[in-house]
Every structure is written in C-alpha cells, then in structure tokens.
Amino acid sequence: LVTAVDHVGIAVADLDEAIAFQRDTFGLQVAHEETNDDQGVREAMLRAPGDAAGAAQIQLLAPLREDSAIAKFLDRNGPGLQQLAYRVTDVEAAMAALRAKGVRLLYEEPRRGTADSRINFVHPKDVGGVLVELVEPAPGH
Ligand code: CMX
C-alpha cells in the first residue's frame, strides 16, 4: 500500500522562526514553501543536504487561523510531532483498502495537499495513536 515515507509533520507557532531554527541547529534546507488555505496552514518542506530525490522530508506547519487543525493541536499539546505521511500511488485505492480493513478516513474524498498532491488522513485512534496522512504526489513530483 505504502511506497515510501513522504514526510513527518511538526506543528509550530511561527513558520519563519521554525525554519531558521532547523537551518541553524540541524542544517536543514527549505525545499518548498506554500500557504494551503484549505488546510489552514502556512507550511515548509525541509530537506537534508545529502538527501536523494524522493527522500522523506520534514514538514513545518504553522496555523493560518484559530479554527484550524494545527491551531487546535498547538493549544492542546504545544509544538511537536503532529503527523506521519505515507506516500501512495493512488490515494483512492489506498482509501478503499483501508476502509475494507475497518480503518476510518477523515475525508470522504481526497483533498488538496502540499504541491498539488491529493491527500487524506487516517483517524489516529484507528492506527496506534498516530495521525497518518496518505499522499499521492502530483504527476511529475
Ligand atoms: N496525533 C495523534 N492523536 C491526535 C492528534 C494527532 N495529531 N490530534 C488529535 N489526536 C487525538 C486527540 O488527542 C483525541 O484523543 P482523546 O480522545 O484520547 O483525547 C482524539 O485524537 C480525537 O481528538 P478530537 O478532539 O476528536 O479531534 P481534534 O479536533 O483534535 O482533531 C483530527 C483531530 C485528527 C481529526 C484533526 O487534527 C484533523 O482533522 N487532522 C487532519 C488535517 C490536518 O491535520 N491538517 C493539518 C496538516 C495539513 C497538511 O498536512 O497538509
């Protein structure tokens, strides 16, 4: 079902501060930055200098609005690991396979994720307490 670990997401209060911290502390570089209004986030994808193409990235997620999932996560837990994202080739097929195993998906239909990927989430209570994102990258990514 899963072809690779796509990224690990960290909730942060301030995106620019978090980017600078990861750069100055660990030497990570920004590979991509965007605002995803549907998800209510400003976000950045970070990479290590030695990463091969397609290597798992670190995603920094800052809230755009108080009613967003990231704002709620920060209120409850403070900054920290928020999600684990698995790459799949066909998100609808992955959703169907998981539903057949009795695992709840958060959305009926895939939504737009980072860099025009198609995404859904698995309910953390059904998969060991980890919020799992399914990511079908856009063609060419
Ligand atoms: N990881 C693990 N468990 C989590 C969690 C997380 N990130 N967020 C919530 N939970 C747990 C809660 O602690 C709660 O557990 P208890 O019942 O034991 O207290 C349970 O899940 C349900 O919590 P809830 O209050 O019913 O739900 P929330 O309002 O906290 O929402 C969730 C949780 C997963 C439904 C919501 O965060 C969501 O819709 N996430 C998907 C979208 C998202 O995360 N977008 C931001 C990233 C965008 C991107 O990656 O592009």
What CA–CA distance (Å, rounded) separates 49 from 27?
Answer: 8
Phi, psi of 35 (to 5 degrees): -110, 130
Model pLDDT for residues 17-67, shown as the tens digit of each residue: 999 999 999 999 999 999 999 999 999 999 999 999 999 999 999 999 999
| Atom number in ligand 1 closest to CA 125 | 21
pLDDT of residue 11 exceeding 90, the answer is yes
What does the pLDDT read at residue 140?
A: 87
CA of 131 to the centre of ligand 1 (A): 7
Is the Cβ atom of 111 under 6 angstroms away from ligand 1?
no
What does the pLDDT read at residue 79?
A: 98
pLDDT of residue 102 exceeding 90, the answer is yes
Model pLDDT for residues 119-140, shown as the tens digit of each residue: 999 999 999 999 999 999 999 8
Which segments of the chain are extended strands (E)? Answer: 4-11, 29-36, 41-47, 57-63, 80-87, 111-112, 118-122, 132-136
Q: Is the pTM of this model over 0.95?
A: yes
What does the pLDDT read at residue 141?
A: 85
CA of 45 to the centre of ligand 1 (A): 21
In DSSP notation, 61-88 reads EEESSTTSHHHHHHHHH-SEEEEEEEE-
What CA–CA distance (Å, rounded) separates 60 from 135?
Answer: 16
What does the pLDDT read at residue 95?
A: 98
